[in-house]
Amino acid sequence: MKASSHSLLPHSACALWLVLALLAASIALPAHAVRIKEVAAVQGVRSNQLSGYGLVVGLDGTGDQTTQMPYTSQAMSNYLQQMGISLPPGAAGQFQLKNVAAVIVTAQLPAFAQPGQMIDVNVSSMGNAKSLKGGTLIATPLRGADGEIYALAQGNMVVGGAGASAGGSKVQINHLSAGRIPQGAQVERAVPTPLNDGDSITLGLNASDFQTARRVAQAINAKLGNGLATALDGRTVQVRAPLEPGARVGFIADLEEIPLESAAPAAKVVINARTGSVVLNQAVTLGPCAIAHGNLSITISSRPVISQPNPLSQGQTVVTQQSDITINQEPGNIIQMPPSPQLADVVRALNSLGATPGDLLAILQAIKAAGALNAELEVI
């Protein structure tokens, strides 16, 4: 529900219609050629996710409240024991470490990464630390899904936010409980890849599409030799490759640069329910239908009411609030939507409804349910 749908249309909807109009303008462009590397990737050549638990020290009194976060003091006690400092039993629970914060460290280990190379890491607070700005991450092992250590992270954090508080007031820009350390982890172990195994490689398409798989196989056979590539299904293409590693790398480099005529995408409408964004691709068409769209406006106004006591009654003046609620429902007009074979016609027909992006979400879902929207509807 909204106070006035017409007042929102010139501001919030104009940006949406501009995006849709730009998409509509692109429908007249011819299909452009893309390279195979932009629609497919060699299977087995992938990155791996790493994570670890660590401590950030050197904070300016903005760390975890260790009385509420016992794992921070326990982790600090374990670290001191590794450094040769033994604490009395139970002393860890008495720590008041305002300059220390427990964090989760994550990183992405790229394919073919070798020991000694540096990778970026992200650091996120897992306790109640107010800010990680100015902190230093101490040595933190990063483990893979198999539990093995693949990298070691350490360094000074870069936090993009800023904040200040005084007298009960607080001002904050961006996020202060997460940061990044560029080149903050050193690779300690390489991940083997099956690139040189067998006499063939397998290309995995970014999206499942039989037409694209067939075109990839045809383009490879036409460029590098007939019978080299075979489309196994709508997502994978098998290609015979040289056995010698150096020749295989050169073969894959040439293969990825082969131009490929892009196929028309499947009709899809993507709706972001959180932001109200609606994106349509050029394959979306609209069947004939009729739509009734009306607006419901609710206005709530409050005014103070003062109650005065009688003279000499020793009463008190009382101020209360009286609220008036007005509900106004505008009549909905039935609009006939003609068949729209092009995206520009779809945009023009939806624009004629005079709906805000929020209303458009419900309208598109209703059109899809009625069978008049010839597209896949995806809500994210």
In tens, the pLDDT along 54-103 reads: 999 999 888 888 777 788 888 888 888 888 888 777 665 566 778 899 99
Distances (CA, A) of 317 to 43, 307, 340: 79, 6, 66
Q: What is the pLDDT of residues 119-157, one digit of tens each?
A: 999 999 998 888 899 899 999 999 999 999 999 999 999
Give mean pLDDT, residues 177-192.
94
Q: Which of 329, 323, 325 is nearest to 299 (CA)?
A: 325
How far is it, in rounded angstroms, from Cα 273 to Cα 354? 19
pLDDT band at 14 (very low <50, low <70, confident <90, very high): very low
Neighbour-count burial of 27, counting CB atoms closer than 10 A to its CB (0-12 exposed, 13-18 middle, 19+ buried): middle
pLDDT confidence of residue 317:
74
Neighbour-count burial of 63, counting CB atoms closer than 10 A to its CB (0-12 exposed, 13-18 middle, 19+ buried): buried
Domains and CATH numbers, the chain: 5-29+267-379 (no CATH), 48-187 (no CATH), 194-261 (3.30.1360)
pLDDT confidence of residue 69:
79
3-class secondary structure, 13: helix
Question: 278 is written with which tokens?
Answer: 């609606």
Q: What is the DSSP string of 138-175?
A: EEEEEE-TTS-EEEEEEEE-B---EEEEETTEEEEES-
The gap between the terminal CA atoms of the chain, to the nearest Å, is 22
Half-sphere exposure of 10 (CA within 13 A, CB side): 3
Mark out the alpha helices in 191-321 (DSSP H runs). Answer: 210-224, 245-256
Mark out the alpha helices in 199-283 (DSSP H runs). Answer: 210-224, 245-256
How far is it, in rounded angstroms, from Cα 35 to Cα 56? 44
Question: 343 is written with which tokens?
Answer: 């995206």
How far is it, in rounded angstroms, from Cα 48 to Cα 113? 10
pLDDT at 1 over 60: no
Neighbour-count burial of 104, counting CB atoms closer than 10 A to its CB (0-12 exposed, 13-18 middle, 19+ buried): middle
**What is the pTM for the complete model shown?**
0.66
Least confident interval from 35-49, 86-100, 215-229, 296-310: 296-310
pLDDT band at 330 (very low <50, low <70, confident <90, very high): low
pLDDT confidence of residue 272:
79
